[in-house]
Homo-oligomer: A and B are copies of this chain.
Amino acid sequence: MAKEQIFDIAQLAHVEIYSPKPEETLWFFKELLGMEETTREGQSVYLRAYEDFYHHTLKVTEAKEPGMGHLALRTSSQPALERRVKELEASGYGKGWIEGDLGHGPAYQFETPDGHNMELLWDVEYYTAPENKFSKLLSRPQKRPLRGVPVRRLDHVNLLANDVTTNKNFLMDQLGFRLREHIVMNDGSEAGAWMSVSPLVHELALMGDQLGGRGRFHHLCYWYGYPQHLSDISDIFVENDIKIEAGPGKHGVSQAYFLYVLEPGGNRVELFGDAGYLIFDPAWKPITWKEEELDKGIIWYGSQLPEEFFMYGTPTIEKAKV
């Protein structure tokens, strides 16, 4: 009889990205995407979208190279945290506890087989709006900003991995992620996998690193929920010389309206214009895109993805390394 589902991970809580151009990166997230700065400390600035409930969902840290510092997953409870840590310790991928950071308490650090830094945590600090930002819409932690085309909340992260299958299995077995969709090539290898712990099609995705790098970052995604906002922010990007890599268009995988853009620090950012489809079926059978069906899986309609989309990640590496 099938094991029952693990419900120990609740959500993607925050992401840290590195930027060699922190001022331009902050301008991008604050003035164009309308994000709010919570605080600064050392070489880091903490940001959140206006419908993010916690202290921050994005930490921008100055560094020589772009890339992902780490990402954090919040568990469903304190006991759930303890259960997962026990598993991670046994897996050999655990690194140990830190006392916390601005915005959250103790966190257990680990890395994926591919070398991406992640942490699990339970204790978080909620954002509380000052009086002049308090919204009468009680489910909104603050007023909608008047700057740019403001994003609403963190949605997901996409990571490059040398071996999609191994890393997918790690996330499923250790953390309870469910596989929602994946791409299986004719040789049987997995080229991409989309996984979630909620009805979202993914909080985490993995794509094969075609340059053979390790622990690289493909993109993070913030959510609008309204297709028009992808058009609006596209307009803003073109006006402000921000390179749109692809979109707007509609993905087959996830069914989401997407836009890809490179923030000035060099990291790829995706924006979602709708909710795509949501999965409530508790016995969901993963959707398998075969090599010959792949085109529709990647782009259902609209703007195509350039070659760069499948090669470029952060930190950047030499193509020659392939």
Q: Assess the A138–B198 pair: CB atoms within 8 A.
A: no
Interface readout for A143-181 with B: 1 if CB under 8 Å, 0 if not? 110111000110000000000000000000000000001
Q: Assess the B139–A277 pair: CB atoms within 8 A.
A: yes
Q: Assess the B252–A146 pair: CB atoms within 8 A.
A: no
From B228, B247, B287, A229 is in contact (CB under 8 Å) with: B228
* Interfacial chain B residues near A75, Cβ < 8 Å: 282
Interface residues of A in 236-283 (CB under 8 A from B): 236-240, 244, 247-250, 252-255, 257, 274-275, 277-278, 280-282
Q: Assess the B247–A302 pair: CB atoms within 8 A.
A: yes
A76 CB-CB contact with B under 8 Å: yes
With contacts A228-B226, A234-B301, A237-B301 known, is A296 near B199, CB below 8 A? no
Size category of the binding interface on chain A:
35 or more
CA distance A143 to B239 in the complex (A): 6
CA distance A238 to B297 in the complex (A): 12
A235 CB-CB contact with B under 8 Å: yes
- How many copies, total? 4
CA distance A303 to B257 in the complex (A): 13
CA distance A322 to B196 in the complex (A): 48
Q: Assess the B281–A225 pair: CB atoms within 8 A.
A: no
Question: How far apart are A202's CB and chain B's nearest CB, in angstroms?
Answer: 12
* Interfacial chain B residues near A138, Cβ < 8 Å: 181, 252, 287-289, 293, 297
Q: Assess the B76–A4 pair: CB atoms within 8 A.
A: yes
* Interfacial chain B residues near A136, Cβ < 8 Å: 238-239, 252, 293, 296
A37 CB-CB contact with B under 8 Å: no
CA distance A143 to B148 in the complex (A): 13
With contacts A7-B7, A228-B226, A234-B302 known, is A147 near B147, CB below 8 A? yes
CA distance A77 to B5 in the complex (A): 8
CA distance A51 to B257 in the complex (A): 17
Q: Which residue of B lies closest to A76 (CB)?
A: B282
* Interfacial chain B residues near A248, Cβ < 8 Å: 248-249, 301-302
Interface residues of A in 59-83 (CB under 8 A from B): 74-77, 79-80
With contacts A226-B228, A281-B53 known, is A301 near B244, CB below 8 A? yes
Q: Assess the B144–A235 pair: CB atoms within 8 A.
A: yes
With contacts A250-B231, A303-B303 known, is A146 near B147, CB below 8 A? yes
With A4-B76, A76-B282, A235-B250 given, name 18 new contacts (CB 8 A).
A10-B280, A135-B239, A137-B296, A139-B201, A139-B277, A144-B235, A152-B277, A198-B198, A198-B280, A226-B231, A227-B228, A234-B301, A237-B301, A238-B300, A248-B249, A248-B301, A275-B278, A302-B302
In the complex, 22 of the A-B residue pairs with CB atoms within 8 angstroms, ordered by the A residue number, are A10-B280, A11-B280, A11-B282, A136-B252, A136-B293, A137-B238, A138-B287, A138-B297, A139-B277, A139-B287, A140-B277, A143-B240, A144-B235, A198-B280, A200-B278, A231-B250, A234-B250, A238-B300, A247-B302, A249-B302, A275-B275, A304-B304
